[in-house]
Structure 1
Amino acid sequence: MTTKDTTSIFTRWQLLSFGVLTTPLALAGFTLVFYLPNFYALEMGLGLTAVGLVLALGRVFDVITDPLIGHFSDQTRGRTGPRAPWILLGAPIFALAVWLFLAPPEGAGLIYLIAVSGLFFLTYTIVDVPYSSIGLEISPDPHERSLLASSKSLFQIAGALAASLIPLVLGAAMGLSLKVIAATVIVLLAVGLFTLFRFVPAIREPNAEPRLSLWSGLRWLWTRPQYRSLIGAFFMVQSANALTAGLTVLYVTHVIGAPELIGAFFLIIFTSTALCLPVWLWIARRQSKRAAWITSLIVCSAALAVVPFVGATGIAGFAMFCVILGGVFGCDAIMPTSMLADIIGKTDGSSRTGATALAVKNAVSKLTFVVPMAIAFPLLDLVGFQEAGENTPMALSVLTIFFAGVPVAIRLLTAFVVWRAPLSTQHLTGSG
């Protein structure tokens, strides 16, 4: 990476170049969510329970390894800085893990799944945490930090769309589709590494900064009220998102009554996320990042409050809801990350704990996706909800409460926390 003067501003090409590496990471991540559980459980014959347990333990593994990798990156010293060595170390092993995970040999069993999924989760973290941390540190300008986060979000959407479209376009067996996805991830990984190290300016990390232990770094971060408030708000909004996103397939199937349109609704969500990013950037620049985030929280709460009144004949109404939902997902993605960059830039200009701070945020995000499995699914089972067949009005009401009602309450509470917390421009950057 080339050296960057801290007073310079990114060109559009540099902003785009920074985000490219997100596409292969997102493509691999969405493939894990969309296809691999059913592929290993059904086509490889390992069973839903065993596969679900292995992948759930992988998320627990991530919660442990994310802060560790972030800490090790923060404490790395050398002329290439604290991030590049980890990215270059992890990328080739990650490419191997992707191929092994998505293209298993015939007869691969549970031990194989445990080994390759563990390698996948670990190497994904080794690449992603240091890479994403660069976006927290590379620019001194608060608006530019939002643009960097938006660049990553835009290429993340590209990865999600690729994961959705490749099997559809191929029209082949899932095994072949996964091999094509794996090859695509590996090629895009090479492209992303090239654009990152060739075109993106980087601030070189001096070696004079004292090292911190992991515990000292976490304790130091937790003494910052801005960081505590941001992580708490992020945990709440991601929990709300996890409920809505995790129950969308069931809601569309059993309440809207249009399972054949699930793919189309997800396409609307992803497209809306991309199209609405400039809106949130405009609000953040004209008002504040906090104002943009609170606006998105209130808008989504209003949409969620209305969606229960969209019945089985309300396909157009639900499509409009997907437009709003996708739009606010973009704000939920870029504003917390950009605000975290402001906190790091204000309180930790030396980047002593930047990757650790981001890794804790990532770990919190991964924990929230346990919410549907830990709370909603058991209660749905308790009221006799059936994934196939007819459901009672009580079962559908409980589904609607968790899909829309509980997320409304969580989002409104999050808006209050963000409004009251020390997350204004003055608090984050010291500016007026």
Structure 2
Amino acid sequence: MTALTAIPSSSLSPLQSKGDERSGALRLIRFSAVAVPIAAATMPIGVYLPAIFARDFGLSLGMIGFIFLIGRLWDAISDPLIGSLSDRTRSRFGRRKPWMAAGAVLFTLSSIFLFFPVATVTPHYLGGVLFVFYLGWTAIQIPFLAWSGEISGHYHERTRIATYQTVVGSAALFVTLLLPALADQLRPGDGHLQMSLMGALVLATVIPGVFLSLTAFPEVPAPAGPAETLSIKHTLRAVFANTLLLRVLASDFAVTLAQSIRAALIVFYVSFYMGRPDWAAALFLFQFVFGIFAGPIWLRIGLKLGKHRTAVLGELVQVAVNLSLLLVTPDTFGLLLALTLVQGLAQGSGNLMLRAIVADIADKHRLETGEERTGLYYSVFSLAGKGASAIAIGVALPLVAWLGFDPRGSNSPQALLGLAYVFALGPALGHAFSALLLARFPLDEAAHSEIRRQLDDQPLALAPAE
């Protein structure tokens, strides 16, 4: 983890400058601990649970799709609502901590019923459990992201904080990917065992993870003055009138759309186009192994180039990798492995930098308007990524089907070539659009330093509770 401690202590905020760099690194790992249960739940919800509920519990695919769609629509309401409410919360414990603690209770209880069903799983049962699960998830994640942007006002330190969260979350995802593979070795096709192992990881880490994060840092003081009254009109204006935020949201949407198209098609691409079904899951895992090392690499680049330039560079690398996939044939599996390795090392570079930029934009908005919108801005940032993930499946799968691909039968060379083109060009276009949106982004280190200087001259509310 030495690459993660590249910022000298003299440049850190008062909270991070206490002690040596080693203790600072451990403290940030501790703060990032809540990313483990959140990441451990991401993979089952998006990949494994729908298939298990259909195969092992007898729910129809149409009903499962409808329930999960309603869950995403619920996110569209709950994410910005909780983000805005946490911005306005005033308590002796701070603004973010009470929401995370309450969310942990809901997340834990609903995880028990989701991964360890105690009754017959009906559509009403699954819908009710997911309603509470998503609410708890949001109540943890959105305030946590907002808080992570408030720990330090230092331009590069925010990148460092986001990097720790990315690396910790990637490690958790890697472990989660191993569990279904382990279950298949013990009892092939046993969905109940897969759910139990993945659920055990979530439940074993949620309470310790939330506790470690809540106790890692005191919250920063809230802005001076009373909390603003919640207004839908002002909330929408704060989002849609902020052109820099809209550029970042669109850029992250494009990045996540590209990543999700690749994830949705990789099993089909490897199994049918490459003719290597034995590598279908392993190649995804291979990419993830190198993805764990991507965060420290891009942190070092970010310290040299700044956030938006680093994001542009990362997206251009992704464009080159995905376009190079057009050169891959079933006889050049080694080339696919090499490109997958580079893909892993470039993985998440754009998301990482964009997440850190959101806090800078919130600083600029607070200086110009006096409004605290960090929680709101991180909620719509999260919502953009979730929307892109859902749309990617709704676009990529019908498109390859329209081109003639059928995962249940034989496919013509033209259909397989269409699958390969979508697998390569879809992500390449998404990453290229993301890079275009970030080109000549005006909020760089110098501009943000001036914003922070002016904000630091403003009065603060009461000091936070330890």
Residue 84 (structure 1) aligns with: 97
Q: Does 1:21 align with 2:3?
A: no
Q: Does 1:97 align with 2:118?
A: no
Q: 2:381 aligns with which of 361, 367, 374?
A: 361
Which TM-score applies when normalising by structure 1? 0.93
Contact in 2 for aligned 1:136/1:344 (Cα 8 Å) = no
Q: 2:433 aligns with which of 386, 402, 413?
A: 413
Q: Does 1:115 align with 2:128?
A: yes
1:359 offset after TM fit, Å? 0.5
1:177 offset after TM fit, Å? 3.0
Residue 12 (structure 1) aligns with: 25
Pairwise CA RMSD of aligned residues?
2.1
Residue 319 (structure 1) aligns with: 337
d(CA) in 2 for partners of 1:218, 1:71: 11
Q: Secondary structure of 2:329's partner?
A: coil
Contact in 1 for aligned 2:314/2:349 (Cα 8 Å) = yes
Q: Does 1:382 align with 2:402?
A: yes
One-letter amino acid of the structure 2 residue matched with residue 232 of structure 1? A
1:25 offset after TM fit, Å? 0.8
Contact in 2 for aligned 1:218/1:356 (Cα 8 Å) = no
One-letter amino acid of the structure 2 residue matched with residue 237 of structure 1? V
Q: Secondary structure of 2:30's partner?
A: helix
1:57 offset after TM fit, Å? 2.0
Contact in 1 for aligned 2:88/2:95 (Cα 8 Å) = yes
User: What are the residue-to-residue correspondences of 1:15-414 with 2, within 5 Å?
Assistant: 15-170=28-183, 171-172=186-187, 173-205=190-222, 208-212=225-229, 213-348=231-366, 352-414=372-434
Structure 1 stretches of 5 or more lacking a match?
A: none
1:299 offset after TM fit, Å? 1.0
Q: Secondary structure of 1:236's partner?
A: helix
d(CA) in 1 for partners of 2:421, 2:227: 50
Distance 1:67 1:286, change over 3 A: same
Structure 2 stretches of 5 or more lacking a match?
A: 1-11, 18-23, 454-466
Contact in 1 for aligned 2:13/2:154 (Cα 8 Å) = no
d(CA) in 1 for partners of 2:212, 2:162: 17
CA offsets 1:327-370 (integer angstroms, 9 cap, x no match): 22221221000111222234337772111100001111111112
CA offsets 1:171-193 (integer angstroms, 9 cap, x no match): 24321332232232122111112
Residue 463 (structure 2) aligns with: none
Q: Secondary structure of 1:104's partner?
A: coil
1:225 offset after TM fit, Å? 2.6
d(CA) in 1 for partners of 2:268, 2:294: 26
1:208 offset after TM fit, Å? 2.4
d(CA) in 2 for partners of 1:281, 1:379: 36
1:428 offset after TM fit, Å? 4.1
Contact in 2 for aligned 1:75/1:82 (Cα 8 Å) = yes
One-letter amino acid of the structure 1 residue matched with residue 399 of structure 2? L
One-letter amino acid of the structure 2 residue matched with residue 128 of structure 1? Q
1:85 offset after TM fit, Å? 0.8
Contact in 2 for aligned 1:146/1:338 (Cα 8 Å) = yes
d(CA) in 2 for partners of 1:354, 1:408: 31
CA offsets 1:398-429 (integer angstroms, 9 cap, x no match): 22232111322232232222113334334444
d(CA) in 1 for partners of 2:262, 2:444: 28
One-letter amino acid of the structure 2 residue matched with residue 425 of structure 1? E
Contact in 2 for aligned 1:253/1:259 (Cα 8 Å) = yes
1:207 offset after TM fit, Å? 6.5
Q: Secondary structure of 1:199's partner?
A: coil
More deviation in 211-220 or 198-207? 198-207
d(CA) in 2 for partners of 1:207, 1:91: 29
More deviation in 345-354 or 52-61? 345-354
d(CA) in 2 for partners of 1:73, 1:375: 34
One-letter amino acid of the structure 2 residue matched with residue 177 of structure 1? Q
d(CA) in 2 for partners of 1:341, 1:231: 13
1:430 offset after TM fit, Å? 3.5
Q: Secondary structure of 2:58's partner?
A: coil
d(CA) in 2 for partners of 1:269, 1:423: 32
CA offsets 1:127-181 (integer angstroms, 9 cap, x no match): 1111111111111111111111111111211221121112333424321332232
Contact in 2 for aligned 1:339/1:428 (Cα 8 Å) = no
Which TM-score applies when normalising by structure 2? 0.87
State how many pairs are aligned: 428
Contact in 2 for aligned 1:283/1:291 (Cα 8 Å) = no
d(CA) in 2 for partners of 1:426, 1:407: 32
Contact in 1 for aligned 2:155/2:448 (Cα 8 Å) = no
More deviation in 194-203 or 75-84? 194-203
Identity of aligned residues (%): 26
One-letter amino acid of the structure 1 residue matched with residue 314 of structure 2? S
1:106 offset after TM fit, Å? 4.8
Q: Secondary structure of 1:140's partner?
A: coil
d(CA) in 2 for partners of 1:410, 1:353: 28
Contact in 2 for aligned 1:146/1:281 (Cα 8 Å) = yes
Q: 1:424 aligns with which of 434, 439, 444?
A: 444
